[in-house]
Amino acid sequence: MFSLAEKLIAYRNLRPKKKEGFLKVISTFSFIGIMLGVAILIIVMSVMNGFRTDLTNKILGFNPHIIIKPYESSKIENIFINQINDSFEKIEVRKSYTGEAVVMVNDYTKGILAKGIDTDNKKNLDFLKSILIEGTEEDFKSNELIIGKELAFDLNLKVGDKINLLSSSLVNTPFGNLPKQENYEIKGIFNSGFYEFDKNIIFLELSDSLIFFDKNNDDISLEIYLENPLEADVFKENIQKINTNLYVYSWIDLNKSFFSALKVERNVMFIILTLIIVVAAFNIISGLTILIKNKTKEIAILKTMGLTNKSIIKSFFLTGFVIGLSATVAGTILGVLFSHYIESIRIFLSYVFNVEIFPNDIYFLDRMPSEINPVSIVIIFILALITTVLASLIPAMAISKMDPIKALKYE
């Protein structure tokens, strides 16, 4: 593709003389600019992909894929549950009830979500076992509850302590309607890895939750877990056709705006950070333009010796392309390594500068997420190469307009 003469000219251009030190500076800045642009783009995309994946896994691990709730004038019949099990394969149906409550410990009160789960279902117990860090899910019975790690920390609670819950339902007393109150013993403490869940959700036994909120079996909700959560919307529509009197929604419905915002943010960040590579590529254009102006005499001599315009253009194009290619490869390696060790780097920087980087109460996660996507890396690599090719070709094409006679006349 490139002849020996073209490679030698390109090699000579990449090693400027001492009096051409300015060209070396431009080449260095071109290399550093493209390398950092590619690395930053890979790091940011990896973090955003990891952030989206981690949040999705946390949400899917903690929430059902489809929820079926009765309207006030309807209830979930057992025949409906049997229809679901008969109509769909590889799905799991669980019963639950969730309501709002207030935790009261000493002088501290906090609003939370109290979720009643069916402890007769082994899958529910397996789920609790997977997230518990203190206590046990075994013999989870009436007047016991499981709270999140962050809530336990805020209230200074431990396994075995008792807390008071204030229900959103009212009871009649001689003093009028008052919120219902119950005392519960802490059976265990869980850590989901999702800050908002760990701080705002507690688990009760299903029958306990119905009594606490003054509900009955007709108010129970159904939670459906799928083999492929991404098919939730398809299953939701099919389930809704079985009984249109029930309210059916999926985890996608609950988080649609959130994930749409993440997608828009990721695309905007990609466009903005791509401009770093484009700006760095302008250094290649300016560097090659100055190089060509300084080499006017040498180019004219090469033309008079018989070297074609095409060969000279290719040699100067190769000069810029080598800078861009090496910077792109170096940036890709740097970006992948940084993305792989980003959590360790975060911990190190937090320790050195004594600043909390990526606080979990803001970003909902307890660690810096990162997911290296090979497709994204290939796209970034190809995009950087295309930018480099264009930046190298534009000034090199100007050589074809150079007249060797005029060039030598003024030397």
pLDDT in tens, 167-193: 877 666 666 667 788 899 999 999 887
**Which DSSP string do the residues of 99-154 spell out, in sequence order?**
EEEEEEETTEEEEEEEEEE-TTSHHHHHHHHHHEEEE-STT--TTEEEEEHHHHHH
Q: Are residues 262 and 393 in the same domain?
A: yes
Q: What is the rounded radius of gyration, in angstroms, for the C-alpha atoms of the chain? A: 33
pLDDT band at 260 (very low <50, low <70, confident <90, very high): confident
Q: Are residues 214 and 354 in the same domain?
A: no
Tokens of 21: 């030190």
Q: Are residues 97 and 219 in the same domain?
A: yes
pLDDT average, residue stretch 42-69: 84
pLDDT band at 89 (very low <50, low <70, confident <90, very high): confident
Task: Determine the pLDDT at residue 353.
Answer: 82
Interatomic CA distance for residues 280 and 185, integer angstroms: 62
Residue 272 placed within a domain: yes
Task: Determine the pLDDT at residue 203.
Answer: 93
In angstroms, how far is CA 114 from the centroid of its own chain?
A: 28
Q: What is the mean pLDDT of the chain?
A: 82
Out of 179, 204, 226, a domain closes at 226
Closest CA to 197 of 398, 365, 392, 399: 365
Q: Are residues 405 and 315 in the same domain?
A: yes
CB 72 within 8 A of CB 215: no
Closest CA to 221 of 347, 70, 404, 36: 70
What is the number of alpha carbons within 13 Å of residue 44 lying toward its C-beta? Answer: 19
Query: In this model, does residue 314 exceed pLDDT 60?
Result: yes
CB 318 within 8 A of CB 396: no
Residue 264 placed within a domain: yes
Using CB atoms within 10 Å of the CB of residue 158, give its burial: 0 to 12 exposed, 13 to 18 middle, 19+ buried.
exposed
Number of domains in the chain: 2
Out of 176, 211, 226, a domain closes at 226
Q: Are residues 186 and 267 in the same domain?
A: no
Residue 76 placed within a domain: no
pLDDT tens-digit series, residues 268-312: 888 888 888 888 888 888 878 877 777 777 777 777 777 777 887
Q: Are residues 103 and 201 in the same domain?
A: yes
Domain extent for 49: 4-57+258-409
Residue 80 placed within a domain: no
Tokens of 361: 């109460």
**Tokens 């204030």 identify what position?**
166
Residue 72 placed within a domain: no
pLDDT band at 335 (very low <50, low <70, confident <90, very high): very high
Q: Are residues 126 and 220 in the same domain?
A: yes
Query: In this model, does residue 248 exceed pLDDT 60?
Result: yes
Instruction: Please tell me the least confidently modeled range out of 110-114, 132-136, 291-295, 325-329.
Output: 291-295
Query: In this model, does residue 19 exceed pLDDT 60?
Result: no
CB 339 within 8 A of CB 43: yes
Provide the residue type at 156 as one letter: N
Provide the residue type at 347 as one letter: I
Q: pTM here?
A: 0.70
Q: Are residues 222 and 291 in the same domain?
A: no
Residue 167 placed within a domain: yes
Residue 388 placed within a domain: yes
What is the number of alpha carbons within 13 Å of residue 39 lying toward its C-beta? Answer: 18
Task: Determine the pLDDT at residue 410.
Answer: 53
Question: What residues have CB less than 8 Å from 33, skipping those under 6 apart?
Answer: 276, 277, 279, 280, 283, 327
Q: Are residues 221 and 263 in the same domain?
A: no
Q: Are residues 222 and 263 in the same domain?
A: no
Query: In this model, does residue 39 exceed pLDDT 60?
Result: yes
Q: Are residues 194 and 96 in the same domain?
A: yes
Out of 186, 209, 226, a domain closes at 226
Closest CA to 38 of 327, 254, 293: 327
Interatomic CA distance for residues 48 and 61, integer angstroms: 20
Instruction: Please tell me the least confidently modeled range out of 91-105, 298-312, 332-346.
Output: 298-312
Residue 208 placed within a domain: yes
Provide the residue type at 319 as one letter: T
Q: Are residues 112 and 190 in the same domain?
A: yes
Task: Determine the pLDDT at residue 42.
Answer: 92
Instruction: Give the number of other CB atoms < 10 A from CB of residue 196.
Output: 15
CA distances from 373 to 42, 48, 94, 334, 377 (A): 9, 11, 35, 15, 6
Interatomic CA distance for residues 222 and 247, integer angstroms: 10
